[in-house]
Amino acid sequence: MYEKMIEQAEKEYPQMVEWRRHFHQYPELSFHEEETPKKIASFLRDLGVEDVKEAFGGRGVVAKIYGEQPGKTIALRADFDALPIQDTKDVEYKSKIPGVSHACGHDAHTSILLHTAKILHQNREHLEGTIVLIHQFAEEQT
């Protein structure tokens, strides 16, 4: 199963890069996250994850992947808020929001957790227990 999941992760890598670039282009500051949690929830639902909740006043996202075998519950967390820093890179996926950027890697954290969710959801028949996915807002301010 491990080798299969690695192969899936490698195959799906371009999608993870696409997600990361999207989040990088549209950063949102702490406590101003509106579109990012909607996008995360939409991506998770599109992947087939059934238990997806937009939490904390719609700013955060909590989802659960249920393994088909009994077992423990574990949580995986990523943050998605941005910083008030100008993105000075000269790349096509540069921040489109003046004075705001993902200078701390939260766009990557979010994309990696979505990628992980996809692989785990596709292999849930082999999973034991429940995996809780926590997408945290306002990490830079809390």
Q: Which residues are catalytic?
A: 81, 139
Q: CB-based contacts of 36: which residues, under 8 Å, 6+ apart?
A: 23, 26, 28, 80, 110, 137
How many angstroms separate the CA atoms of 125 and 127, rounded? 6
Residue with tokens 């921040």: 95
Q: What angle do CA 32, 52, 135 make, to 5 degrees?
A: 40
CA dihedral 58, 60, 64, 65 (to 10 degrees): 110
